[in-house]
Amino acid sequence: MELDTALLSRLQFAFTVSFHIIFPSITIGLATLIAIWEGLWLKTHDPRYLQLAKFWIKPFAITFGMGVVSGIVLSYEFGTNFSKFSDIVGPVLGPLMAYEVLTAFFLEAGFLGVMLFGWQRVGRKLHFFATVTVAVGTWISAFWIIVANSWMQTPQGYTIVDGQFHVASWFEVIFNPSMPYRLSHMLLASLITATFVVAGVCAYYLLKKQHVAFAKKGLSMTMWIALILTPLQAYIGDHHGLNVKQYQPTKLAAMEGIWPAEEERVPLLLFAMPNMETESNDFELGIPSLGSLILTHSFDGAVQGLKAVPPEDRPNVPLVFWSFRVMVGLGFGMIALAFIALWLRKRSTLFENKPFLAALALFTPSGVISVLAGWYVVEVGRQPWLVYNLVRTSDVVSPLPAERVLFTLIGFVVIYTLLLGVYLYFMRKLIKKGPPSMAHLEQQLIGMKAPGYALAWVKNLKHEEGEK
C-alpha cells in the first residue's frame, strides 16, 4: 500500500489533539470547582470544603500535567506537519496563540507551584488567590484557543496578500461569528465534565459506604451545579447549531444526515447509516418535520443538504453524524440525571438510591466523551477545509517522507496509550486512597496558622471519625 503523507499527518494531528483535549476539558472545570471549595472554606471554615479542595487538587495536578505535556506537542505540530498552513495563516493564528501563552500559560504555570506546594509557605488568602489565578488562567487559555479555532471555522477580517493571510481587523478576527457560541459551549462543557467526574467519584464512595460525609457534600453540591448547567448547555448548544446552519451549512447537513440540495420538512433522524457512495441514508428512522422545527423553529422550514456542494467538498458524513448523536445522547443523559437527582433530593433518598448512584458512577467519563464527540463534529465537519472554504487541508501538508510520519505516528500511539493507562491507574489509586483524614487536615491547619475555631471544627469532626 502506498503511504500517504497527508493522511498520516492528519491522523497524527487528530490523534494527538484528541488525546490532549481530554485533560483541559477536565482541568478547566476542576480548577474552577477547587477555587470555589477553597473560597467557601475561607468564608465558612467548614472543613468539608477544605477536604474537597485538598482531595481534588491531586487528580487536578496529574490531569494538568498530562495537559501540559500533550499541549506542547500541539504548539509545534502545526509547523512540523502542516508547514505551508503555518506559513500562510501564521500572521493570523500566530499572534492569537502567542497571546494564549502570554496571558494564560505563564499565568497558570506561575501560580500552579504555589497552588500545589505552597499551602504552608504563603498566607491562606494568598493561596486562594493563586488557586483562583490558575482557574482564571485555564479560562483565558480556552478563550484564545477557541478564538483561533473559530476563526478557522468562520474566517473574517483578513485580506490575502501573495497567498498569505494578513489581518485587516483584529476585532473581526477575534469576534468572528462562531466564537461566542463555541466558547460558551466549551466552557460549560468543561464545567459539566468536571462536575460529573466529581459526582461520579462521590457516588462511588456512597455505593461503597466509604467517606460518606465527604461524598454527600460533594454529591449534593455537584448535583445542584448540574441542574443549572446541563439545561443551559442544551440551550446554548441549540443556538450554536443555528450558527453552524448559517455559516457552515454543509457541516450541519452532515450532522443531521440531510442529503437533498434543499429539503423542507426535515425529519429528525434517530437512526441512520449515512452512505457517501449512494448519497443517501441506509436504515433511516426519523420523526417527520421535527428536524425542521429544531433547526428553523418552524415545521416546514427548508435546510440546505449535502448535495448542494460537490462530493469533494463534503466531510466524512457518518463520522460527523454519529459523533453528534453520541454528544447529544450523553448530554440528555446528564440532564436526566440532574433532574432525577432533584426528585430524589425531595424524597430525601439522594444518597441512598443505588441505581441512581450506580448510573452516576457510570457517567463519570460522560463529559469527556461528549467533549471528544463534540470536537469531532466541529473538526471533521469542517473538512475538507482547514480554513473553511479557503484552505484545503490536503494542499498545506508538509512534504515529509511518509515513512517518517508513520514512524512518529506509531510513536505517539504507543506513548499515549501507555500514558493513558498510567493516568487511569494513578487516578484509580488516588480515588481508592480517598480524601485526606481530619487528623491530617488538623496538622495542615496548624502549619497554615488557621484561626482557632477552624481548628476546633476539624477536631470535632476528627472525633466523630474516630468513633466510627
Tell me: does residue 18 bind other proteins (CB under 8 A). Answer: no
Residue (of 96, 158, 347) closest to 356 by Cα position: 347
Q: Apex CA 116: angle with CA 113 and CA 120, to 5°?
A: 95
Which 229-288 residues touch other proteins, going by CB under 8 A? Answer: none
Phi, psi of 287 (to 5 degrees): -105, 115
Total site size for other proteins, rule CB under 8 A: 75
Question: Closest separation between CB of residue 371 and other proteins, Å?
Answer: 21
Question: Closest separation between CB of residue 19 and other proteins, Å?
Answer: 11
Task: Render the burial of 269-306: b for 16+ CB within 10 Å, e for the rest.
Answer: beebebeeeeebbeeeebeebbbbbebbeeeebebbbb
Query: Could you tell me which stretch among 52-60, 262-270, 376-384, 449-457 binds other proteins (CB under 8 A)?
Result: 52-60
For other proteins, give the closer residue by CB, 58 or 217: 58
Q: Are 309 and 258 in contact, with CB atoms under 8 Å apart?
A: no
Question: Closest separation between CB of residue 258 and other proteins, Å?
Answer: 38
> C-alpha distances in angstroms, 274 versus 163, 259, 425, 435?
36, 9, 38, 48
238: amino acid identity, one letter: D
Tell me: does residue 329 bind other proteins (CB under 8 A). Answer: no
Which 425-444 residues touch other proteins, going by CB under 8 A? Answer: 426, 429-430
Which of 3, 7, 44, 102 binds other proteins (CB under 8 A)? It is: 102
Residue (of 347, 438, 419, 449) closest to 73 by Cα position: 419
Element (H, E) at 468: none
Question: Closest separation between CB of residue 394 and other proteins, Å?
Answer: 16
For other proteins, give the closer residue by CB, 14 or 62: 62
Contacts of 42 (CB under 8 A, 6+ apart): 124, 125, 128
For other proteins, give the closer residue by CB, 311 or 411: 411
Which 166-225 residues touch other proteins, going by CB under 8 A? Answer: 166-168, 170
From the CB of residue 328, how many other CB atoms can be counted at a distance below 10 Å?
18
Question: Closest separation between CB of residue 407 and other proteins, Å?
Answer: 8
Question: Closest separation between CB of residue 204 and other proteins, Å?
Answer: 20
For other proteins, give the closer residue by CB, 343 or 426: 426
DSSP state, residue 317: H
For other proteins, give the closer residue by CB, 148 or 330: 148
Helix residue ranges, H only, 248-401: 249-256, 290-296, 317-346, 354-362, 366-382
Question: Closest separation between CB of residue 389 and other proteins, Å?
Answer: 21
Phi, psi of 3 (to 5 degrees): -80, 140
Which 80-99 residues touch other proteins, going by CB under 8 A? Answer: 80-81, 83-84, 86-95, 97-99
Q: Which residue has the cell 494513578?
A: 426
Tell me: does residue 451 bind other proteins (CB under 8 A). Answer: no
Which 368-427 residues touch other proteins, going by CB under 8 A? Answer: 398-401, 404, 407-408, 411, 415, 419, 422, 426
The gap from C-alpha 390 to its chain's centroid, in whole angstroms, comes to 27
Q: How far is it, in rounded angstroms, from Cα 164 to Cα 214?
A: 56
From the CB of residue 332, how many other CB atoms can be counted at a distance below 10 Å?
12
Q: How far is it, in rounded angstroms, from Cα 64 to Cα 239?
A: 31
Question: Closest separation between CB of residue 243 and other proteins, Å?
Answer: 26
Query: Could you tell me which stretch among 109-117, 327-335, 346-354, 455-463 binds other proteins (CB under 8 A)?
Result: 109-117
For other proteins, give the closer residue by CB, 98 or 261: 98
Tell me: does residue 116 bind other proteins (CB under 8 A). Answer: yes
Which of 14, 62, 290, 294 binds other proteins (CB under 8 A)? It is: 62
Which of 3, 7, 72, 336 binds other proteins (CB under 8 A)? It is: 72
For other proteins, give the closer residue by CB, 164 or 316: 164
Question: Closest separation between CB of residue 405 and other proteins, Å?
Answer: 8
Phi, psi of 426 (to 5 degrees): -75, -30
Q: What is residue 403's three-state secondary structure?
A: helix
Tell me: does residue 76 bind other proteins (CB under 8 A). Answer: yes
Tell me: does residue 17 bind other proteins (CB under 8 A). Answer: no
Q: How far is it, in rounded angstroms, from Cα 90 to Cα 84?
A: 9
Tell me: does residue 121 bind other proteins (CB under 8 A). Answer: yes
Residue (of 62, 23, 68, 60) closest to 38 by Cα position: 60
Q: Which residue has the cell 439545561?
A: 231
Which of 40, 61, 276, 302 binds other proteins (CB under 8 A)? It is: 61
Contacts of 307 (CB under 8 A, 6+ apart): 259, 260, 261, 279
Which of 21, 114, 192, 361 binds other proteins (CB under 8 A)? It is: 114
For other proteins, give the closer residue by CB, 270 or 446: 446
Which of 68, 227, 232, 234 binds other proteins (CB under 8 A)? It is: 68
Which of 161, 283, 463, 467 binds other proteins (CB under 8 A)? It is: 161
